[in-house]
Amino acid sequence: MIDLRVKTIFKGMVAIRDRYLKDAKWKEEGICIKVGQQSMTIPFERIDRYRSISKYGFIDKFSKKRHKLVYYAWKPDESRQMSLEDLARLGAFG
For residue range 7-66, what is the model confidence (pLDDT) as tens digits?
999 999 999 999 999 999 999 999 999 999 999 999 999 999 999 988 888 888 888 889
Please give the tally of structural domains in the chain.
1
**Could you tell me if residue 80 is inside a domain?**
yes
Q: Which residue has the higher pLDDT, 94 or 53?
A: 53
In a domain, 20, yes or no: yes
Residue 49 located in a structural domain? yes
pLDDT at 60: 83
pLDDT at 86: 60
In a domain, 94, yes or no: no
pLDDT band at 78 (very low <50, low <70, confident <90, very high): confident
3-state SS, the chain, equals CEEEECCCCECCEEEEEHHHHHHHHHHCCCEEEEECCEEEEECHHHCCCCCEECCCCEECCCCCCEECEEEEECCCCCCCCCCHHHHHHCCCCC
Average pLDDT over residues 68-90: 76
